[in-house]
């Protein structure tokens, strides 16, 4: 596996650990619909969360969350709609981003952005 893929998987694991620590239950990871993928699907307080995880080594070209553009948002929405079609019992959903930036000392700086909306 390429180094950037390993870094991305490590970021997803950090995000999943953080979410569980903050009361989320992981429902699914890397859920695929056609060519789209949701990094993490989790639930908390009767809300289903579709979560995009972005990890970066530095912020020279912007923060990790800046890399979740409208196109990626539309893909996430399409995958989320497909998940709801398959599991219609979920009536309360939201889309979130977990942004992970490695600080100069190598520690991750995690930022959780709730209820993101793309139009």
Average pLDDT for 77-103: 91
Report percent pLDDT > 70 for the chain.
91
Model confidence at 109, pLDDT cuts 50, 70, 90, reads confident
Question: Which pLDDT score is estimated for 67?
Answer: 78
Contacts of 12 (CB under 8 A, 6+ apart): 29, 30, 39, 40, 53, 55
Of 18 and 7, more confident: 18
CATH code for the domain in which residue 66 is found = 3.40.1350.10
Task: Count up the domains in the chain and report the number.
Answer: 1
Which strand (E) or helix (H) includes residue 117? Answer: none
Does residue 118 fall inside a structural domain?
A: no
Does residue 64 fall inside a structural domain?
A: yes
Does residue 119 fall inside a structural domain?
A: no
Can you give the residue range of the structural domain that contains 25?
3-113
Does residue 47 fall inside a structural domain?
A: yes
DSSP state of 115: S
Contacts of 99 (CB under 8 A, 6+ apart): 54, 63, 64, 65, 110, 111, 112, 113
The pTM assigned to this predicted structure is: 0.88
Range among 23-32, 48-57, 106-115 rated most confident: 23-32
Does residue 28 fall inside a structural domain?
A: yes
């Amino acid at each position: 596996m390429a180094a950037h893929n390993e870094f991305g998987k490590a970021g997803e694991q950090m995000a999943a650990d953080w979410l569980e620590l903050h009361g989320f239950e992981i429902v699914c990871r890397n859920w695929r619909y056609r060519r789209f993928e949701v990094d993490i699907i989790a639930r908390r307080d009767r809300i289903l969360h579709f979560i995009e995880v972005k990890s970066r080594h530095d912020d020279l070209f912007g923060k990790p969350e800046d890399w979740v553009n409208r196109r990626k948002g539309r893909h996430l929405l399409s995958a989320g709609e497909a998940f709801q079609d398959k599991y219609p019992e979920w009536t309360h959903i939201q889309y979130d981003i977990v942004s992970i930036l490695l600080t100069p000392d190598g520690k991750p700086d995690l930022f959780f952005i709730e209820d993101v909306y793309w139009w």
